[in-house]
């Protein structure tokens, strides 16, 4: 998780600005150097038979880096946060009590991780065992550093710092490295903690550079697009790599924040160069895809083809869109490219993906569905909602403020956020399912509850061929069989993975609007999650949100401590703690 203080983005020398003016128009394609221009490096070290990566000669080096944008002074970005008035004594007491409860949940899970899975990637919260899911470099420890700082757990933070020297980022038992996951959990974790502590602890930047240097080798391909599931031992042994013809969109397009911030902290443009080449390719393709403005779920990164017919803002695509306004802010509004790409994407999202769900109380709840290329109209949209899409409310809210877009988009942001709150409140456990389908309104502005339509929609979604004449009767039976809340037509994945996306948007919309009903919604969400996921060791994912006695699953991803509980903590904090006007999250 990356936290970047905006005020850190300071001017550099006039010479660097001049270089930017001279070279910013360079084409994104890399220029190869003669092999003699690079210093030869020895083969990788061997330690007990284990391969160790070390910085070596690139096969496809860059002749001139795209320079990191700098300016004499950061350009103004519109204010995001609400002007919060002073709170009453009662409201403050209530807020602090809630915040304390969140911190206690974090302390419980952190204690379990520290006791049973220290320096491993994840704690198994039922068995007390551990898991190595992200190369075995202590993902939960690194990813949670910023949460420890924010919650004032100084002693625990310093114990975690002391353990960092034991992590060796030159080797792993994993045969492939997920570049995206390694970037957000490790690189982001180190730099977030570094920025939150004003660079007080040099080991944080040192480790960030170690990870950055390691990951940079994944970009050493003919077109400089990264091999997203990097066969790192090939690189270590001096062999070539190429990007995949089946690359997940989010894994290709969601490296911008961390790599840009690393360039800002090190004054080394190569990291920014690496991701800016991806951005340039994405911009060039954006209006040429089968749904102009959007990118498909899968990309042929070897040939930079975008022919996949599937389009969504959910899993496998989400952060490609989320990072556009955030990168714009991180670069102090100096690169209009990210605004232009966001504008195009947002217009397409509104036109092709967003729909209103029909609810019994006629609440204005919005969701983003999935589109297929060739669909003639929005009526053919798949009305599938998922927890991963819940980031969208926060993104649209921030985009509306930062890019001064219409007031309508703040309303859309709130509707998307309320859609996720509604999904939580609709389940017996008070927890939203991973994936479900919704009965969509025919009219976004005028939508009244129609029980017969709901039953028909359920029958169409779940029927195995029964005659439409019996649609209502069969729909009513299917609702009972599948445990569907009014308005839902299917729950295709009833699990909950301790995900942060819903509370992230609730937190962001609270900071934007100051609406305290969002704090109350967050409290309901937290109480239900904490109660049903708690184990003796920590907290666990659950199997079925429709069942108050659901079995638990023996895993707890690092984002539970690094994001979910952090956002719950922040929504009950003073608004000045990690202000959206001071940090890019």
pLDDT for residue 4: 66
Catalytic residue among 121, 195, 251, 318: 318
Active site residue 409: no
- The predicted structure's pLDDT at residue 380: 79
CA torsion angle 427 431 436 440 (round to 10): 60
Instruction: Give the pLDDT of residue 32.
Output: 33
Q: What is the CA radius of gyration of the chain?
A: 24
Tokens 């038992």 correspond to: 173
Span between the terminal Cα atoms of the chain, in Å: 7
Q: How far, in Å, are 131, 161, 249 from residue 228 at the CA level?
A: 22, 29, 10
Give catalytic status of residue 318 as yes or no.
yes
pLDDT of residue 16: 36
Alpha-carbon span 489 to 408, nearest angstrom: 28
Give the model's pLDDT for residue 470. 81
Q: How far apart are CA 165 and CA 548, in angstroms?
A: 43
pLDDT of residue 24: 39
The Cα 69–Cα 504 span in angstroms is 29
Report residue 30 as tokens. 């890399």
> Could you list the pLDDT tens digit for every one of the 585 residues in the chain?
666 655 444 333 333 343 333 333 333 333 333 323 333 344 455 555 689 999 989 999 999 999 999 876 777 899 999 999 999 999 999 999 999 999 999 999 999 999 999 999 999 999 999 999 999 999 999 999 999 999 999 999 999 999 999 999 999 999 999 999 999 999 999 999 999 999 999 999 999 999 999 999 999 999 999 999 999 999 999 999 999 999 999 999 999 999 999 999 999 999 999 999 999 999 999 999 999 999 999 999 999 999 999 999 999 999 999 999 999 999 999 999 999 999 999 999 999 999 999 999 999 999 999 999 876 666 679 999 999 999 999 999 999 999 999 999 999 999 999 999 999 999 999 999 999 999 999 999 999 999 999 999 999 999 865 566 688 889 999 999 999 999 999 999 999 999 999 999 999 999 999 999 999 999 999 999 999 999 999 999 999 999 999 999 999 999 999 999 999 999 999 999 999 999 999
How far apart are the C-alpha atoms of 390 and 408, rounded to whole Å? 19
d(CA 112, CA 131): 13
Q: Is 434 a catalytic residue?
A: yes
As given in the structure block, the two tokens for residue 109 are: 């899970």
Q: Are 519 and 95 in contact (CB under 8 A)?
A: yes
Q: Which of 122, 195, 386, 501 is catalytic?
A: 501
How far is residue 354's CA from residue 350's CA, in Å, rounded to a whole number? Answer: 5
**Location of structure tokens 């757990």:** 153
pLDDT at 3: 63
338: tokens are: 């990210």
3-state secondary structure of 13: coil
386, 434, 544, 557: which is the annotated catalytic residue? 434
- Provide the pLDDT for residue 376: 62
Tell me the two tokens of residue 196.
Answer: 């939150």
Q: Are 300 and 252 in contact (CB under 8 A)?
A: no
Catalytic residue, chosen from 87, 107, 129, 181, is 181
Tell me whether residue 58 is one of the annotated catalytic residues: no
The pLDDT of residue 44 is 54
């Amino acid at each position: 998780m990356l936290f970047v203080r905006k005020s850190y983005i300071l001017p550099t020398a006039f010479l660097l600005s001049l270089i930017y003016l001279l070279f910013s128009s360079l084409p994104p394609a890399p220029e190869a150097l003669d092999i003699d221009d690079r210093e030869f490096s020895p083969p990788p070290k061997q330690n007990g038979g284990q391969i160790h990566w070390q910085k070596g000669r690139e096969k496809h080096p860059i002749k001139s880096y795209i320079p990191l944008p700098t300016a004499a002074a950061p350009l103004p970005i519109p204010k995001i946060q609400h002007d919060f008035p002073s709170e009453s004594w009662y409201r403050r007491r209530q807020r602090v009590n809630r915040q304390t409860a969140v911190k206690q949940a974090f302390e419980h899970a952190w204690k379990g991780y520290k006791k049973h899975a220290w320096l491993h990637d994840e704690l198994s919260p039922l068995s007390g065992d551990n898991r190595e899911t992200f190369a075995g470099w202590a993902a939960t420890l690194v990813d949670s550093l910023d949460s420890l700082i924010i919650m004032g757990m100084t002693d625990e933070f310093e114990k975690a710092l002391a353990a960092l020297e034991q992590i060796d980022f030159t080797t792993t038992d994993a045969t492939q490295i997920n570049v995206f996951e390694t970037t957000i959990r490790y690189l982001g974790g180190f730099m977030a903690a570094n920025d939150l502590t004003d660079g007080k602890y040099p080991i944080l930047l040192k480790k960030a550079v170690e990870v950055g240097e390691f990951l940079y080798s994944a970009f050493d391909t003919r077109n400089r697009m990264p091999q997203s599931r990097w066969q790192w031992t090939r690189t270590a042994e001096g062999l070539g790599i190429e990007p995949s013809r089946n690359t997940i969109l989010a894994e290709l397009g969601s490296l911008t924040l961390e790599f840009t911030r690393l360039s800002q902290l090190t004054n080394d443009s190569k990291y920014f160069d690496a991701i800016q080449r991806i951005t340039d390719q994405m911009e060039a393709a954006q209006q040429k895809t089968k749904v102009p403005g959007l990118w498909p779920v899968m990309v042929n990164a070897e040939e930079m083809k975008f022919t996949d017919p599937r389009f969504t803002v959910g899993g496998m695509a989400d952060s490609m869109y989320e990072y556009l306004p955030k990168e714009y802010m991180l670069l102090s509004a100096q690169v209009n490219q990210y605004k232009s790409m966001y504008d195009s994407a947002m217009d397409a999202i509104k036109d092709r993906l967003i729909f209103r769900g029909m609810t019994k109380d006629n609440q204005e709840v919005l969701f983003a569905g999935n589109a297929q290329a060739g669909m003639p109209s929005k009526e053919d949209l798949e009305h599938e909602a998922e927890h991963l899409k819940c980031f969208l409310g926060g993104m649209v809210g921030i985009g509306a403020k930062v890019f001064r877009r219409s007031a309508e988009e703040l309303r859309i942001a709130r509707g998307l956020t309320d859609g996720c709150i509604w999904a939580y409140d609709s389940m017996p456990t008070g927890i939203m399912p991973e994936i479900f389908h919704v009965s969509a309104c025919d009219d976004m502005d005028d939508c009244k509850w129609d029980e017969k339509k709901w039953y028909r929609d359920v029958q169409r979604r779940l029927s195995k061929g029964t005659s439409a004449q019996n649609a209502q009767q069969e729909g009513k039976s299917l609702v009972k069989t599948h445990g569907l809340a009014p308005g839902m037509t299917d729950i295709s994945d009833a699990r909950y993975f301790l995900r942060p996306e819903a509370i992230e948007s609730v937190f962001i919309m609270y900071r934007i609007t100051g609406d305290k009903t969002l704090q109350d919604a967050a409290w309901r969400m937290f109480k239900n999650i904490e109660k049903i996921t708690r184990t003796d060791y920590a907290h666990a994912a659950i199997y079925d949100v429709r069942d108050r006695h659901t079995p638990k699953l023996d895993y707890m991803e690092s984002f539970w401590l690094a994001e979910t509980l952090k956002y719950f903590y922040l929504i009950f904090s003073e608004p000045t703690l990690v202000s959206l006007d001071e940090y890019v999250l």
